[in-house]
Amino acid sequence: MAGIAAALSLAAGPANGASAERSAAGKLKDGTAVEAITLRNAHGVSARILTYGATLQSLVAPDRQGHAAEITLGHDTPSDYEAHQDYLGVTIGRVANRIANARFEIDGTAYTVPKNNAPNSLHGGGQGFDRANWTVAHVVGGPVARVVLTHRSPDGEMGYPGNLDVTVAYTLDERGELGIVFEATTDKPTVVNMTNHALFNLAGKAAVQGAMLHLLTIPAARFTPVDKTLIPTGELRDVTGSVFDFRRGRALDDGVRDGKDPQIAIGRGYDHNFVLDKGQTATPQLAARLEDPASGRVLEVLTTEPGVQLYTGNFLDGTVAGRGGHLYRMGDGIALEPQKFPDTPNQPAFGSARVDPGKPYRHAMIYRVSVSR
C-alpha cells in the first residue's frame, strides 16, 4: 500500500480540497448492485467512477467561458455497459490491447487466452477487468479527493496464470488533474498491462462535429506499424513526413482520411501505438496533448509507461446508443491509452510485461484538464 500512497500524492492540491460522494448507480442483470463515486473540485471539474469495470463513466470540464460539459463518451447505466462491451472509460486488464494469436510463453510454458478479436486476444480476453464489479476500499475528500477500488483475478482466469490482486486509485485535485494509479501483485509469474480506455470529445456532450478537428500533439518520433490484424510488425518506424507525425500538433481529420497510407487503411483510421520519446519513467510525464480550438478545452495525458495508443473510434458505427441516447459514430471520440506496446508479451524487443511474486506492477497516469486562451 505504500506505493499507492506515494502515487496518490502526485496530484496533491491546495488546502481547500475536493469532495468525494458515494451513491447507488443501479444493478447488473443478475441483481448485483453497482456503486458510483463522484469526485468534484471547486472549479467545475468532476469525475464519476463506477465500480463496474472500475469505469470512468463521466469527466466534466469547463470551457474558456466557464461553461462545464461532459467530455467523455459513455453510457447512462451499469446495465448499458454490461450489454455493450465497447470499453468506454473502463479499466482494461489483465493485458490491454492485442496479444498475437492469443498466446504467449513464460519460462517455456505456453499460455492460451481467448481469441475475442480473432485471431488475437484483445483487452483481457472478453471477460477482463472491465466485466468485474470492483470493491470500494476507500473514499475520501480533502486536499485530494480519491477512491480506491480493488479486485482479485484468480489463477487461470481468461487463461492468465497467477492469482492477481489489483488496485485502481482515482484522485482529483484543484488543479484539474484526474490521477489514475494501477497496481497489481501476483503469486505466480504472469503478464500485466493495464490502462484506462476513455474516449474524449472536448467539444462537449454529443457534439455533432465529433472530435476529428481537435488538435493533437504526441511527443513521439516513432510509432509501431501493424499487420492486417493490428498486431505490431516489430518495426519502430520514423514518423517524419507521415500522417503519424504529431510532434508539432495538428488536426486529426486529414490523417484519418489519408487513403494513401496503408497503415491508415488497415486501422480504418488511427489505431496505433506511439513510442514516446520519454520512454518508461518513474513519474508521469507528457504522452499527449489534445485541444478543441472552439471551446478552448485542453486535455493532457501523462504516464509512466513507454507508449500511448491513439484510437479514433474507428469501430463506432452508429448501431449502439450511448449516453442520452446519442448514437456514437466513427470519429466521435478519441482514445489516448498509455500502456506498454501491443503484443509486448510476444515481442521481447518491446520490453517486458512480466510481473513476478514480490515485484509488483505499477502504472501511474494523469488526465489533466485546462483551457487555452
pLDDT in tens, 277-320: 999 999 999 999 999 999 999 999 999 999 999 999 999 998 98
**Alpha helices in the chain, H assignment, sequence order:** 2-8, 78-83, 253-256, 262-267
Q: Tally the domains of the chain.
A: 1
**What are the two backbone dihedrals, phi and then psi, of residue 269, each rounded to the nearest 5 degrees?**
130, -155
Instruction: Please tell me what DSSP assigns to residue 155.
Output: T
The residue from 183, 291, 305, 337 that is catalytic is: 337
The residue from 75, 123, 197, 214 that is catalytic is: 197
Instruction: Please tell me what DSSP assigns to residue 357.
Output: T
Task: Look at residue 9 in the predicted model and tell me its pLDDT.
Answer: 32
Give the 3-state secondary structure of residue 345.
helix
List, as one string, the DSSP characters of 205-231. TT-TT-STTSEEE---SEEE-B-TTS-
Give the 3-state secondary structure of residue 41.
coil
Sequence-separated (6 or more) residues with CB below 8 Å from residue 67: none
pLDDT in tens, 102-159: 999 999 999 999 999 999 999 999 999 999 999 999 999 989 999 999 999 999 999 9
What span, in angstroms and rounded, lies between the C-alpha atoms of 49 and 34?
Answer: 10
Catalytic-residue membership of 82: no
Catalytic-residue membership of 337: yes
pLDDT in tens, 156-174: 999 999 999 999 999 999 9
pLDDT at 15 over 60: no
Entry pTM: 0.94
Q: Tell me which residue of 193, 190, 192, 194 sits closest to 357, measured CA to CA.
A: 190
List the CATH number of the domain containing 79. 2.70.98.10
**Alpha helices in 31-103, H assignment, sequence order:** 78-83
Domain that holds residue 111: 2-371
Distances (CA, A) of 201 to 131, 211, 268: 24, 5, 19
